Amino acid sequence: MKHIPAPWTLEDCEDSDSQLVMSPHNVCVCSVADEASANLIAAAPDMLEALKLALDLCYNGAISFKKYGFTSDNDIDETYRAAIAKAEGRI
């Protein structure tokens, strides 16, 4: 099963105080009553990719490190931190 393509972003709903989680093709993924939940939902594709990366690196180590084009551990950290920051509404 595939999800709606990322990145997902937030938009204010014109008719209510809800937040709309939107796809790049202007498809509404969902409407959420509070901003914190909307941030978490919008970050779901980023977090999924970060988890896939973590699992791949755990099992395949240096092979995956090169596959993703990382040059240092900082590159990996930044991928994880960006997904967390999006989920927390900081980006």
Mean pLDDT rounded to a whole number for the chain: 89
The reply to whether 7 and 48 lie within a common domain is: no
For residues 35 and 73, membership in a common domain is answered with: no
Domain that holds residue 86: 43-91
* φ and ψ of 27, to 5 deg: -100, 130
Q: What is the DSSP string of 41-85?
A: HHTHHHHHHHHHHHHHHHHHTHHHHHHTT--SHHHHHHHHHHHHH
For the cut 90, the answer to whether the pLDDT of residue 9 exceeds it is yes
Asked if residue 57 and residue 31 are part of one domain, the reply reads no
Both 38 and 48 in one domain: the answer is no
Q: Quick check: 7 pLDDT over 90?
A: yes
Residue 67 pLDDT: 81
Answer yes or no: do 59 and 22 share one domain.
no
pLDDT tens digit sequence for 47-75: 998 998 888 888 887 777 778 888 888 88
3-19 mean pLDDT: 91
pLDDT at 72: 80
| 69: its two tokens | 């084009």
Between 86 and 76, whose confidence is greater?
86
